[in-house]
Copies of this chain bind each other. A is one copy, B any other.
């Protein structure tokens, strides 16, 4: 039995090492790999991903799992090994049904689609991307048939990112949030808009970069275990616990985009950087779910990074770097500006309040695509119709519309709802933090973020995927997922800013 345990661990460690290689290859593709190498590179990624997939469903893995999941064996394992065995068992049962060649083709397909998406987005050319997306949706449909599904086909995809989540539950959670958000956005639209002209000026890229580096350090991002790069769409990626990278993009006329994009990805990255090293070499060394992951990016971006206390502390650093741009702008004005609410086209640039409406559009489109209610060819039209309906605005081209996000090119259907689930979790964690660290706000105002990161490390980060999302939320906040904290937080914050 000891030999089986050791062999299982070695086998899983090898899978994790292959995943590290794959992640580096993908990071590289997204941060500037040259065009003519993409075809071959995609094949390499496909080959290695196929290897990992084959290992996850191999006879060898099946034999390890059959032996180690026997109840009398399972109870003798240490906690980490037991959780690792159960995690692999779930994956094995789910993946075992997909033929390896079909999975490898799918990985190659998404690698090429991501590249096609970059070009399509740059050229506002949905048609060049459409066949890629059709193939992806088609393949996902085949996968769902193979996996099986319950009440709704889309539930099967949701479950991959947020275990236990369903269309029925999300519809129930999202409804009051949507209604009260729409009402609040409407009320805000009737008030005088805050100033934001000073945010649209020339902000030299190098200075933006330096300020992002500074803020990352202040938040507690460990540069000895990560780096900041540029990519078309910001992301964070954990290559290993000691190498968790973030990317952002710099716009010469807008410092908000890079700054809050960076803080957002920093939240993801700090989660991964602070996972317990006990989980090294297992598939538990990652976030508990996409929703929990997003709770951390949104917590740091909005609840810390867009708080009044944070800018009371850091506004002087910002104005020192951009003295001309912020001449005569008070910290109150700056705070209001970075919290300005206004319906807009691009999700990643959307304000904190309307953001959830962007998510709902994507959620509804995905749900309908997967259930065959709409087709890929309908997307540009439907996208624009929903933008009109929820936000009252329509993009001029597909580059700033339906093509704006990388997610679908990567096949990540079922992922988008995680963003709003993350906002809900984040507000719930924040309420708990306020209870447990009474001087929480004073600490933010002093730039002392250490205790906050420590609390989150203790309650969330260190556990990685060794606990279920619901267990983490229950243990950290004393209750189940509850959207009221987010609704109250949003109403309290934005009524104050807009004097409602």
A280 to chain B, nearest CB (A): 8
Interface SS majority for chain A: helix
A25–B36 touching, CB < 8 Å: no
* Chain A, range 20-50, C-beta contacts under 8 Å to B: 20-21, 24-25, 28, 32-41, 43-44, 47-48
Whether a CB of chain B sits under 8 angstroms from the CB of A94 is no
Interface: A222 (CB within 8 A): yes
**Cβ B243 vs Cβ A17 within 8 A:** no
Q: Is the CB of B227 within 8 A of A40?
A: no
Within 8 A of B (CB), among A318-347: none
* A224 located at the interface, meaning its Cβ lies under 8 Å from any Cβ of chain B in the complex: yes
Task: Decide yes or no whether A240 CB sits under 8 A from chain B.
Answer: yes
> Contact size class for A?
20 to 34
Instruction: Identify which of residues 207-264 in chain A touch chain B, using a CB-to-CB cut-off of 8 Å.
Output: 222-227, 239-243, 245
Taking the full assembly, how many copies of this chain does it contain? 2
Is the beta-carbon distance between B17 and A242 smaller than 8 angstroms? no
User: A313 on the interface (CB 8 Å rule)?
Assistant: no
Inter-subunit contact B36/A20 (CB<8 Å): no
Contact residues in B for A239 (Cβ distance below 8 Å): 37, 41
Q: How far is the CB of A256 from chain B (nearest CB, A)?
A: 25
With contact pairs A24-B25, A25-B24 given, residues A39 and B227 touching in the complex (Cβ less than 8 Å): no
- The answer to whether A36 and B222 touch (CB under 8 A), given A24-B25, A44-B20, is yes
* A362 adjacent to chain B (CB < 8 Å): no
- Contacts A14-B47, A17-B47, A47-B17 given; does A242 touch B38 at CB 8 Å: yes
**Nearest CB of B to A88, in Å:** 19
Residues of chain B with a CB closer than 8 A to A36's CB: 222, 224-225, 241-243
A37 smallest CB distance to B (angstroms)? 3
Q: Are the CB atoms of A48 and B34 closer together than 8 Å?
A: no
Q: In the assembly, what is the distance between CA of A33 and CA of B245, in Å?
A: 9
Interface string of A438-466 (1 = CB under 8 A from B): 00000000000000000000000000000
Bound: A35/B25 CA distance, A: 19
B43→A227 contact, CB < 8 A: no
Kindly report which residue of chain B lies nearest to residue A238, judged by CB atoms: B37
With A and B bound together, what is the CA distance between A17 and B41 in angstroms?
Answer: 8
Q: Is the CB of B227 within 8 A of A32?
A: yes
Taking the nearest CB of chain B, how far is it from the CB of A16, in angstroms? 9
**Chain B min CB distance to A265 (Å):** 15
Interchain CB contact (< 8 A) of A34 among B20, B24, B34, B242: B242
Contact A40 B25 (CB under 8 A): no
Closest to A28 in B: B24
Chain B residues near A39 (CB-CB < 8 A): 242
B17→A43 contact, CB < 8 A: yes
Instruction: Indicate if the CB atoms of B20 and A40 lie closer than 8 Å.
Output: yes
Whole-angstrom CA separation of A223 from B243 in the bound complex: 28
Shortest CB distance A223–B (Å): 7
Chain B residue, CB-CB nearest to A17: B44
Q: How far is the CB of A449 from chain B (nearest CB, A)?
A: 20
Query: Which one of A17, A37, A39, A224 has the highest number of Cβ atoms from chain B below 10 Å of its Cβ?
Result: A37
Residue of B nearest to A33 (CB): B243
Query: Bound complex: CA of A34 vs CA of B24, how far in Å?
Result: 13
- Complex-state Cα separation, A44 to B24, whole angstroms: 11
Contact present for B34 and A226 (CB under 8 Å): yes
Smallest distance from the beta carbon of A13 to chain B beta carbons, Å? 9
8 Å CB contact of A243 from B41, B43, B225, B245: B41
A243 to chain B, nearest CB (A): 3
Are the C-beta atoms of B37 and A240 separated by less than 8 Å? Answer: yes
Which residues from B are CB-within-8-Å of A21?
Answer: 21, 25, 44, 48
> A116 vs B460: C-alpha distance in the bound complex, in angstroms?
35
Contact yes or no, B28 A41, CB < 8 A: no
Q: How far apart are the CA atoms of A48 and B32 in the complex, in Å? A: 24
Question: In the assembled complex, which residues on chain B have CB atoms less than 8 Å from the CB atom of A224?
Answer: 34-36
Q: Which residues of A contact B (CB under 8 A)?
A: 14, 17, 20-21, 24-25, 28, 32-41, 43-44, 47-48, 222-227, 239-243, 245
Known contacts A24-B25, A34-B227; 6 further A-B pairs (Cβ under 8 A): A21-B21, A24-B24, A24-B28, A35-B242, A37-B243, A41-B243
Q: Please, could you name 11 A-B residue pairs with CB atoms under 8 Å apart, sorted by A?
A: A17-B44, A21-B21, A21-B48, A24-B24, A34-B224, A34-B225, A34-B242, A34-B243, A35-B242, A36-B243, A41-B243
